[in-house]
């Protein structure tokens, strides 16, 4: 959650919570090396299992893995990891591979950097936005650029147009994460960043 300083659990718990997001790297690697259909099968199976766990937790009060990492406001609603899976499925299903991967990377590493830097170094908070620190927002934007550039460098032929797409997607991802409140950012960041990126690709690169 972008640059928030939340008092209901420790910074150590926040680090552990965000480290779970790194599973997104497996999504990207499977997609890159085994293709779209395989990763969608994998994600649908994982989503079904996650929804089953959430049913047991919410309907029957059972403890599930990582239960202790849930924020207070998540105790009685579906966990963010479910929304992330849905966002990833939508991005991979609809967008081109490069845009889908960029949007998932930004949703993953942008969220991690915003939360950790916001909690550790957040001192200047944005007026009108609850617990959104400029330090966390800045870290998110920079990290979005770094992970996006790294992916383009390793797997895509970089050119000025792709760099423009990357910067624009990073702006959209950062703004979406920062402005998100009640709607889970794990869902909306890959969707909005992906829509903008796909639109630019259709205009500039095709």
Residue among 9, 2, 5, 20 nearest 71 (CA)? 9
What mean pLDDT do residues 87-101 have? 96
Kindly state the percentage of the chain with pLDDT values over 90.
54
Which tens digit of pLDDT belongs to each residue from 17-75?
555 667 788 999 999 999 999 999 999 999 999 999 999 989 988 887 665 566 666 67
Max mean pLDDT among 35-39, 118-122, 176-180 falls in: 35-39
Q: What is the pTM of this model?
A: 0.85
What is the pLDDT at residue 61? 83
The answer to whether residues 170 and 190 touch, using CB atoms and an 8 Å cutoff, is: no
Do residues 91 and 173 lie in contact, with contact meaning Cβ atoms separated by under 8 Å? no
Query: What's the average model confidence in pLDDT over 68-87?
Result: 79
């Amino acid at each position: 959650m972008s640059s928030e300083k939340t008092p209901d659990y420790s910074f150590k718990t926040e680090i552990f919570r965000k480290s779970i997001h790194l599973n997104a790297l497996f999504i990207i690697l499977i997609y890159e090396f085994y293709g779209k259909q395989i990763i969608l099968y994998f994600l649908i199976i994982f989503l079904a299992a996650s929804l089953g766990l959430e049913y047991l937790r919410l309907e029957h009060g059972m403890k599930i893995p990582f239960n202790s990492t849930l924020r207070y406001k998540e105790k009685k609603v579906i966990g963010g990891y479910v929304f992330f899976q849905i966002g990833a499925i939508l991005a991979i299903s609809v967008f081109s591979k490069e845009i889908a991967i960029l949007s998932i990377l930004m949703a993953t590493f942008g969220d991690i950097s915003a939360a950790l830097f916001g909690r550790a170094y957040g001192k200047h908070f944005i007026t009108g936005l609850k617990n959104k620190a400029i330090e966390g927002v800045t870290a998110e934007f920079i990290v979005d650029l770094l992970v996006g550039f790294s992916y383009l460098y390793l797997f895509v032929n970089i050119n000025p147009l792709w760099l423009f797409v990357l910067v624009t997607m990073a702006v959209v991802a950062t703004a979406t994460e920062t402005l998100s409140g009640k709607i889970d950012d794990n869902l909306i960041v890959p969707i909005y960043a992906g829509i903008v990126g796909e639109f630019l690709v259709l205009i500039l690169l095709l």
